[in-house]
């Protein structure tokens, strides 16, 4: 791990699908002005073009990226100085590839770990060009989402929460969290826009980390 301007930076690896190679990337333990500039100058125009393309193809709005209204600058500003939130970002090839905000104040809901502390993944989004299911072709980089889940698990262990994590999933990601990540699906949460709530036990976390290289 290295440090830059009070950032902890870890070396991670992404799969560059266009080049067919594994490339070095950086996991930052923050969302910085640089990340927000990347989001505003690169993610938003890319997303806008993607939405225009989906509209031209006649794709229904319900199938458009469900995180398209997320305003990362506002989200980061809202948690400025709060000890209960920890942010992460992944940077590769000079650009931000994924962003995440976590919350350390939530409690587990699964019976086996009810009321135990966990790391709640409030928001996780990868850059539009890394979302193959939306762009209809191979994503530029794969693996960013899994790296952020591993970062949440690691944070959970560091804070004494033993790897427990939880999140509400947008419908387009339900399959990913249930089947690829291996979290337990606790069903729709009527108190949270009826989004499905997923949770991971310490055992599931260990299993996920062990198979991580294959994701």
Q: Based on CB atoms, which residue is closest to other proteins, 68 or 157? A: 157
Query: C-alpha distances in angstroms, 31 versus 35, 79, 106, 146?
Result: 6, 11, 21, 18
Smallest gap from residue 52 Cβ to other proteins (A): 40
- DSSP secondary structure string, 129-153? GG-HHHHTS--SEE-HHHHHHHHHH
Q: Based on CB atoms, which residue is closest to other proteins, 17 or 116? A: 116
- Contact residues: other proteins, CB under 8 A: 6, 8, 29, 82-84, 104-105, 116-117, 159-160, 162
Strands annotated E in the chain: 2-4, 7-16, 21-28, 85-92, 95-103, 119-126, 141-142, 165-169, 184-188, 196-200
Q: Would you call 202 helix, strand, or coil by DSSP?
A: helix
Q: Based on CB atoms, which residue is closest to other proteins, 46 or 117? A: 117
Contacts 24+ apart (CB under 8 A), 111-115: 112/201, 113/164, 113/199, 113/201
Smallest gap from residue 205 Cβ to other proteins (A): 15
Smallest gap from residue 55 Cβ to other proteins (A): 40
Q: Based on CB atoms, which residue is closest to other proteins, 116 or 172? A: 116
Smallest gap from residue 96 Cβ to other proteins (A): 20
Q: Which two tokens stand for residue 197?
A: 């709530």
Q: Based on CB atoms, which residue is closest to other proteins, 139 or 166? A: 166
* Segment (H or E) for 78: helix 72-78
Smallest gap from residue 66 Cβ to other proteins (A): 28
């Amino acid at each position: 791990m290295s440090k830059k301007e009070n950032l902890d930076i870890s070396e991670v690896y992404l799969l560059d699908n266009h080049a067919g190679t594994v490339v070095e990337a950086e996991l930052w333990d923050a969302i910085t002005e640089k990340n927000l500039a990347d989001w505003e100058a690169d993610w938003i125009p890319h997303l806008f073009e993607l939405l225009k393309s989906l509209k031209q193809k006649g794709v229904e709005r319900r199938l458009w990226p469900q995180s398209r209204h997320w305003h990362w600058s506002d989200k980061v500003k809202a948690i400025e100085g709060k000890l209960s939130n920890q942010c992460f970002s992944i940077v590769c090839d000079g650009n931000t590839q994924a962003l995440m905000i976590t919350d350390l104040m939530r409690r587990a809901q699964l019976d086996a770990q009810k009321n135990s502390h966990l790391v709640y993944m409030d928001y996780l989004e990868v850059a539009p060009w890394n979302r193959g299911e939306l762009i209809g072709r191979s994503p530029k980089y794969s693996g960013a989402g899994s790296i952020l889940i591993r970062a949440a698990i690691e944070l959970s262990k560091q804070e004494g929460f033993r790897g427990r994590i939880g999140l509400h999933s947008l419908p387009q990601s339900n399959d990913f969290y249930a089947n690829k990540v291996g979290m337990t699906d606790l069903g729709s949460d009527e108190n949270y826009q009826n989004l499905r709530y997923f949770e991971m036990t310490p055992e599931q976390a260990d299993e996920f980390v062990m198979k991580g290289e294959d994701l």
